[in-house]
């Protein structure tokens, strides 16, 4: 690991790597990055697997791996201006619990680490490790992921629900309790939010309607001048995160809202980015929360 003072530190255990990482250390070269993924993968496994429970429900059970694996790769979700990007030289490779995807410019490898009910909602979750980059350059990315699929049948990225860093059973139980109560936000009632989305051309007024249950979020949003609702589904997460996938083109995500939420005087405020590619567009939304007497109607 390269440290902030430009010195290097050799890490042979997960504890040594985490200590260096917490001090600002990072993997600089492609070789170091390829080795670091082993530590990322092990931290994910050690943080999650001890807290998995048998799932009472599963939308993943019985799904052939070559069909399920395609839903875990995000490099093929690319869209531009509301249309799916048609990539050249697309190639898929399937191994037991591993899928490889590549096109002319990018590649991605996803490895399934574990299956089970992680967040206590009764539904099976998939825990995975993703790595990828550019086929013609040195850029690389690595990410830990969790995927859920509930009543709607849509596979959504619920990675923001993960707690890494080897949480204790007590910490995991507290996290599950917060998710089960939707972090104190009203459940089973529609919340109307109004605001703006800054597109490439100009800002648009938008309205979003959402419902929360067990920390999961369902609903839709629409541009005020169009009036056609676009389905969204996602989750609350740690550190006041709210992640929503947009499903304007079927059951494959075409856009993502990466937001943070806050409450002030019974007003819910959302702010962050919407993106369908690497570049994000600024989003701000706010709306009144229902009173306790109104919640659940």
164 and 227 in a single domain? The answer is: no
* CB contact burial 239-252 (16+ within 10 A = b; e otherwise): eebbbbbbbbeeee
Whether pLDDT at 160 is above 60? yes
54 and 174 in a single domain? The answer is: yes
Where is 121: in which H helix or E strand? none
**If you average pLDDT over residues 159-175, what whole number do you get?**
95
The answer to whether residue 297 is domain-embedded is: no
73 and 161 in a single domain? The answer is: yes
**N- to C-terminal Cα separation, the chain:** 54
Looking at residue 272, which CATH number applies to its domain?
2.40.128.120
249 and 153 in a single domain? The answer is: no
Banded model confidence at residue 296, pLDDT cuts 50, 70, 90? low
pTM reported for the whole predicted model: 0.91
**If you average pLDDT over residues 198-220, what whole number do you get?**
91
**Where are the alpha helices (H) located in 94-230, listed in sequence order?**
169-180
Banded model confidence at residue 198, pLDDT cuts 50, 70, 90? confident
Banded model confidence at residue 297, pLDDT cuts 50, 70, 90? low
Query: Which structure tokens are listed for 97?
Result: 């619990």
What whole-number distance in Å separates Cα of residue 101 and Cα of residue 95? 12
Banded model confidence at residue 135, pLDDT cuts 50, 70, 90? confident
Structural domains of the chain, count: 3
173 and 222 in a single domain? The answer is: no
Whether pLDDT at 295 is above 80? no
The answer to whether residue 296 is domain-embedded is: no
3-state secondary structure 172-209: HHHHHHHHHCHHHCCCCCCEEEEEEEECCCCEEEEEEE
| Tens digit of each residue's pLDDT (9 = 90 or more) over 71-120 | 999 999 988 888 888 898 999 999 999 999 999 999 999 999 999 999 99
**Where are the alpha helices (H) located in the chain, listed in sequence order?**
14-22, 30-48, 65-70, 169-180
Q: Domain span at residue 39? A: 14-49
């Amino acid at each position: 690991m390269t440290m902030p003072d430009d010195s290097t530190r050799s890490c042979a255990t997960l504890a040594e790597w985490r200590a260096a990482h917490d001090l600002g250390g990072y993997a600089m070269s492609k070789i170091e990055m390829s080795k670091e993924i082993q530590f990322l993968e092990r931290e994910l496994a050690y943080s999650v697997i001890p807290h998995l429970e048998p799932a009472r429900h599963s939308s993943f059970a019985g799904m052939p791996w070559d069909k399920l694996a395609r839903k875990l790769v995000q490099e093929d979700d690319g869209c531009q201006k509301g249309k799916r990007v048609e990539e050249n030289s697309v190639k898929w490779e399937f191994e037991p619990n591993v899928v490889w995807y590549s096109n002319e410019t990018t590649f991605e490898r996803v490895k399934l680490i574990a299956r089970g009910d992680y967040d206590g909602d009764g539904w099976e979750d998939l825990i995975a490790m993703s790595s990828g980059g550019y086929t013609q350059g040195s850029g690389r990315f690595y990410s830990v992921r969790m995927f859920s699929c509930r009543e709607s049948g849509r596979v959504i990225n619920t990675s923001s629900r993960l707690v890494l860093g080897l949480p204790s059973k007590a910490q995991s139980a507290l996290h599950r309790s917060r998710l089960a109560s939707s972090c104190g936000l009203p459940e089973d009632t529609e919340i109307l939010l109004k605001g703006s989305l800054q597109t490439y051309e100009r800002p648009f007024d938008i309205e979003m309607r959402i419902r929360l249950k067990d920390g999961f979020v369902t609903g839709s949003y629409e541009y005020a001048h169009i009036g056609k609702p676009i389905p969204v589904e996602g989750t609350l997460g740690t550190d006041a995160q709210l992640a929503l996938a947009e499903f304007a083109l079927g059951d494959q995500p075409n856009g993502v809202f990466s937001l943070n939420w806050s409450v002030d005087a019974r007003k819910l405020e959302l702010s962050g980015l919407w993106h369908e590619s690497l570049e994000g567009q600024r989003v701000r939304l706010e709306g009144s929360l229902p009173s306790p007497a109104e919640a659940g109607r």
